[in-house]
Structure 1
Amino acid sequence: MQQVSSEIMTFKGSHYDLGVETAKWLQTTEILKNREKEWRKRTPRFDIDINETYQIFQTYAPQIWEELRGMQDVLNLPTRQMLLNFAHYRFTDLKDSGCTVYIGDDYLLRNYDYHPATYDGRYLLFQPNDGGLAQIGPTSRITGRMDGMNEAGLVMGYNFMHRKKPKNGFVCYMIGRLVLQYCKDVPEAIQFLKEIPHRSSFSYIVMDKHLNHAIIEVSPRSIEVRYDRTCTNHFKLLTHENRNYTKESKARLHQVLKHTSHGLKPDDAFQLFNDPQYGIYSKLFKSWSGTIHTVLYNPQSLEAWITLGKNDTPRVFNFNDWLNGNEVNLSPLQGAIDTDLTFATH
């Protein structure tokens, strides 16, 4: 068991200037040093094409390219190294992971299950002035998002499915960022996910302020949409794409279905996901599947809840208040997780 923390960062301005501030924050952490160690240990199973990556970003996310440029101007890293670490568009290894999602009457609830050494430990509220929608949520691999909500009330989370037969495309955490950056509702998110290139197989779960919701099952080869309220780590429509071992995923899904029902209140639902006794919170950190955070998003009130680790009261952010000029509590998030594995910042 160890105590962990996550920084709270707020920023209003251009993507380039966000990149500058992000790079300054990176320089106060061990993330870059740890990333370099990882690349020395293992050769990336993908290539970097600088010109093609630039063209892809100009097509789908020109503002985020400016964010990368701001980071590079501070970090003074070669372009290839910047793209390797922060662009998240890959040509040609993803570890297995967990994650569980439940969609309530007016909220989306999620456990993010992965390896602590990949966790940024940074929660970001960002309002751009040069295009794209304002967003709130934890960052993933610095420029990406593993879940979050935007100013239009669109909420997004994703669940890993498998890493078989990857293709050229964006990886999950950049795709999550792009959905929040450019989509205002569920139909726009579905259409966007149909258009962009995908590296690997994931389910993207979305909900909007009209309380529409969908689970979009995506592989590099196909995409299907189902309208359901629960998702773990196996496809229900693209079943031919599932990995061989889905027993643990199905067991977690069974626990969600067992304990949830129509009208489940947000407080009760949050406790259900955050308390290990219910079999949804995971302690499998060494298998890349331990619960690092639990989040709940309300797309109508623009409230975002989060807690690190287990059995804790969530920190609640009113995103709408912050967008209207009110301050938020910037003291770091604190929590306890059942492992001695450290975050990427340490």
Structure 2
Amino acid sequence: MKKVYADVIQFRNTHYDFGYMQGELIKDSILLKNRERQWLVRKPLFRIDKEETEQVFKKLAPNIWEEFIGLQDALKWPIERVLQEFGGYRVNINPSGCSIYVGDDYMIRNYDYHPKTYDGRFVLFQPTDGGFSKLYGSWAGTIHTTAYFPKDLEAWIVLGGDQEPAKFSFSSWLKGEDLSLKTIEGDIDTDIPFAHMERADWFK
């Protein structure tokens, strides 16, 4: 059993500033060091065409492109590297079991990331420029589960299974009241390293 945590990140501003803030948070983190090490083992099976990618994002999700530019500026990386790490490009990996369950008054989302790729973040973002964005070898375990109740404007999150969720008023947060939570903690039955907490050995 391993004690794990997820940081609670709250932000209100433009999409560019949101990207920049995230870049500042992660630029010296173990998460980024672990992501860099994964490319020693995994080889990208894709080619990034910067112009084509920019056109697609600017057409379908222009605010997400602004987040990438903010990340690029904070990390001082070429845009191709930002896109490789955060643009949705993937290498061939075994499928996971993420799932969504929706009813009239709720939505529950399971995040079955592999610990070596889990970023350990629960992010609340209120943009000021419009539009809300946003088996052990393969990992079949749930890392965190969130629940949203739109009628009550309440949200829950829990790390691991069989534990009480952290609950908060999304309505109050939207009105400008910050959450008192800085991290969420839970227990997960694994000895696999979590990318945001400890060094991950990509050769295992």
TM-score where L is the length of structure 2: 0.89
For 1:89 and 1:67, the matched residues in 2 are separated by 16
Contact 1:116 1:285 in 2 (8 A): no
For 1:335 and 1:72, the matched residues in 2 are separated by 32
Q: Which residue of 1 aligns with 2:169?
A: 318
For 2:40 and 2:99, the matched residues in 1 are separated by 32
Deviations 1:215-259 (Å, cap 9, x if unpaired)? Answer: xxxxxxxxxxxxxxxxxxxxxxxxxxxxxxxxxxxxxxxxxxxxx
* Secondary structure in structure 1 of the residue aligned to 2:158: strand
Are 2:98 and 1:114 equivalent residues in the alignment? Answer: no
**AA matched with 1:73:** D
For 2:178 and 2:80, the matched residues in 1 are separated by 38
Of all paired residues, the percent bearing the same amino acid is: 48
- Residue 56 of structure 1, CA deviation: 0.6
Instruction: Give ranges in structure 1 of 5+ residues lacking alignment.
Output: 136-176, 178-283
Q: Which residue of 1 aligns with 2:14?
A: 14
Residues 99/42 of structure 1: CA separation in 2 closer, same or farther (3 Å cut): closer
Residues 287/85 of structure 1: CA separation in 2 closer, same or farther (3 Å cut): closer
Q: Which residue of 2 aligns with 1:215?
A: none
Q: Which residue of 2 aligns with 1:74?
A: 74
Aligned residues: 197
Q: Which residue of 1 aligns with 2:202?
A: none
Contact 1:114 1:285 in 2 (8 A): no
For 1:105 and 1:76, the matched residues in 2 are separated by 44
Relative contact order (alpha carbons < 8 A, sep ≥ 6): 1 or 2 greater? 2
Are 2:70 and 1:52 equivalent residues in the alignment? Answer: no
Deviations 1:148-195 (Å, cap 9, x if unpaired)? Answer: xxxxxxxxxxxxxxxxxxxxxxxxxxxxx3xxxxxxxxxxxxxxxxxx
**AA matched with 1:106:** D
- Residue 105 of structure 1, CA deviation: 4.6
Matches within 5 A, 1:150-229: 177=134
TM-score where L is the length of structure 1: 0.54
For 2:113 and 2:123, the matched residues in 1 are separated by 19
Deviations 1:265-298 (Å, cap 9, x if unpaired)? Answer: xxxxxxxxxxxxxxxxxxx443321110122111
Task: Considering fraction of residues, name the structure with more strand.
Answer: 1
Contact 2:116 2:193 in 1 (8 A): yes
Matches within 5 A, 1:1-346: 1-88=1-88, 93-133=92-132, 177=134, 284-345=135-196, 346=198
Contact 1:9 1:330 in 2 (8 A): no
Contact 1:285 1:291 in 2 (8 A): no
Instruction: Give ranges in structure 2 of 5+ residues lacking alignment.
Output: 199-204
Contact 1:295 1:305 in 2 (8 A): yes
Contact 1:10 1:125 in 2 (8 A): yes
- Residue 28 of structure 1, CA deviation: 4.0
